[in-house]
Structure 1
């Protein structure tokens, strides 16, 4: 018997096909959840998972925690991370780039883990290479303030102005 093949949205990327049992597994481990867009053959358009027949799987998964219960520690450290450049000496620029890059990835990974454990769909880890995109998607997914993104941009603008 052929299982239904599903596709789902992962931060703007179409993922699939996955079997129905695989997508149910993703729901159980909170890789996807409330608000995730899904599609299968026979559907005219993408719909939220809670509007599909997969809603029965969501019944066993609680909704995401309220927004005010999710810690913003990692996202604020990420927003402030460009300040690291003030401590980098020109003689160790290459090492500084690597350290800054590793810190950014670590902060994104910690934030993603926190968001998923709270029941939210987090941006994919590859967004750590495009920090403004990560910060934008995070704010959009949580329907929260864009303040971390604005702070990150302002710090980077200040660093460019100071380097002149």
Structure 2
């Protein structure tokens, strides 16, 4: 009787999570390529037959493919939060900018400028300021090695972005709360 000594192919097939979706099954060689190209990081959750649950890539034998010469991301306490604090006050700063632009464009007529701001003629200035500051902050986080993949698309929804950012960096929610308060104050 001849025995088949081939390996169980399914035990070498990997799955990984991306944007809440399960991707796979792919070979270990393909996983190695994804890791070395930077598509998968040490924080990516992976699974293969034999694992009881999904694990971070760094907790599996795939860790050997992680380039140790690349430094780990900075922790939340080492991130420069200057831009995010400007973003926290962006609703008020945007309103001030709206008044300034309205004043310039109305030839210094304070009543006309106030009317145009109150009627929302220049509200896009505040929206643009919030979005630009969010994008700048997300770019700074990426330079610090932080994966912004899960919340970078939220730059259009600033309070969601701020909440997700604080959660991802294990920081308190102070800038999120400040933004909410400033937004409410801007409405009055």
Are the aligned partners of 2:36 and 2:67 in contact in 1 as well (CA < 8 Å)?
no
Alpha-carbon distance between aligned partners in 1 of 2:152 and 2:37, rounded to the nearest angstrom:
20
Alpha-carbon distance between aligned partners in 1 of 2:38 and 2:139, rounded to the nearest angstrom:
15
Are the aligned partners of 2:84 and 2:133 in contact in 1 as well (CA < 8 Å)?
yes
Q: Which has the larger radius of gyration?
A: 2
Alpha-carbon distance between aligned partners in 2 of 1:133 and 1:46, rounded to the nearest angstrom:
27
What is the CA distance between 1:103 and its match in structure 2? 2.5
Are the aligned partners of 1:108 and 1:128 in contact in 2 as well (CA < 8 Å)?
yes
Are the aligned partners of 2:16 and 2:47 in contact in 1 as well (CA < 8 Å)?
yes
Alpha-carbon distance between aligned partners in 1 of 2:14 and 2:72, rounded to the nearest angstrom:
25
RMSD: 3.0
Alpha-carbon distance between aligned partners in 2 of 1:52 and 1:150, rounded to the nearest angstrom:
38
- Normalised by the size of structure 1, how large is the TM-score? 0.73
> When the two structures are aligned, how many residues end up with a matched partner?
152
- Normalised by the size of structure 2, how large is the TM-score? 0.65
Query: What residue number does 1:136 align with?
Result: 163
Query: What residue number does 1:126 align with?
Result: 153
Unaligned runs of 5+ in 1: none
Are the aligned partners of 2:166 and 2:172 in contact in 1 as well (CA < 8 Å)?
yes
What is the CA distance between 1:59 and its match in structure 2? 2.6
Query: What residue number does 1:24 align with?
Result: 36
Unaligned runs of 5+ in 2: 1-11, 99-116
Alpha-carbon distance between aligned partners in 2 of 1:50 and 1:76, rounded to the nearest angstrom:
33
Alpha-carbon distance between aligned partners in 2 of 1:152 and 1:78, rounded to the nearest angstrom:
7
Greater RCO between the two (CA within 8 Å, min separation 6)? Answer: 1
What is the CA distance between 1:51 and its match in structure 2? 0.9
